[in-house]
Structure 1
Amino acid sequence: MELDTKLVYLLLGSNMGDRAALLDQAIQYISESVGNVQAISHVYETAPWGKTDQPGFLNVAVSVATIYTAEKVLDEVLAIERLMGRVREERWGSRIIDIDIILYGTEILNIPGKLQVPHPEMQNRRFVLEPLKEIASSTIHPVLGKTVEELLVDLVDNLAVWKI
């Protein structure tokens, strides 16, 4: 019997320590506990968003084929964050690792206080769309009905984001 798999898109970010090594380590943990990594974008340097008096971020988008539900994926990525030393103290503050679920197949989910998919701000954030475009340019946002490429064209966010 073949298991049903979903393609989940994650955005990883870090602005503390050896950011590139932390992203690599997180991707390894994801491959061990979430599913089969299908694609990884280039790494992007990003100015801080929300709280700007902190170091810049490195961000990377990753697609993963998984047999897990979105809630189970969330549990796994939160466990990875904890394993890597993430402590949730300040909204938009510095973090050793941040792993967000951006898309989970074509599903639309809203579990109040826990999980909203697609990520409710993905269409407003250049640091999400630039790396995501590399691995999912023609993927359609299940609520807005636009591709990632189209969302990026429509974007008004001028935050500095550059491929490294």
Structure 2
Amino acid sequence: MGMTPIEYGGSVTKPFAGPELKSQHGRDGMTSNPKLENYLKSNYQQGTYMVATLNATSAAPIILDTGLPVMAMGGFMGNDPALTVEKLQKLVNDGQIRYFLLQGRSFGNQQSTVLNWIRTNCRVVPAYKWQDTQSKPSQNWGGMGFRNSSMTLYEYVKK
């Protein structure tokens, strides 16, 4: 079964492709966190998603840096209701997803049930394990409303 790192519909406001993204935005527009990526890579199992993020913008730098599959749960902009709690539970139970990287703000009401499930059923990974204290949060997230948003990494642990 082939894995596609990001799946989203046709109405995309900015062109979105592999290496072009790096040159198009430069490294300033996308925040890269080597410590986070190393943490996720060290816990990655072949054939699964390394982490699930809210949208393609937060998934892109991780995909570019690691070349590993990342799921953008809310599609490109983060407001696509593609993922339901039922689908999420199946993915988690099948071992397809273990980590969730969430921004401080929620993204659209249709996604709040998914976010609530993650917050209820997953544990927060302590920031010192994956947050790079050297790198300041980027002030420019391509104008998509991520400024100063705090990130939380959740881990699903089978009961």
Higher share of residues assigned strand: 1
- TM-score where L is the length of structure 1: 0.30
TM-score by length of 2: 0.30
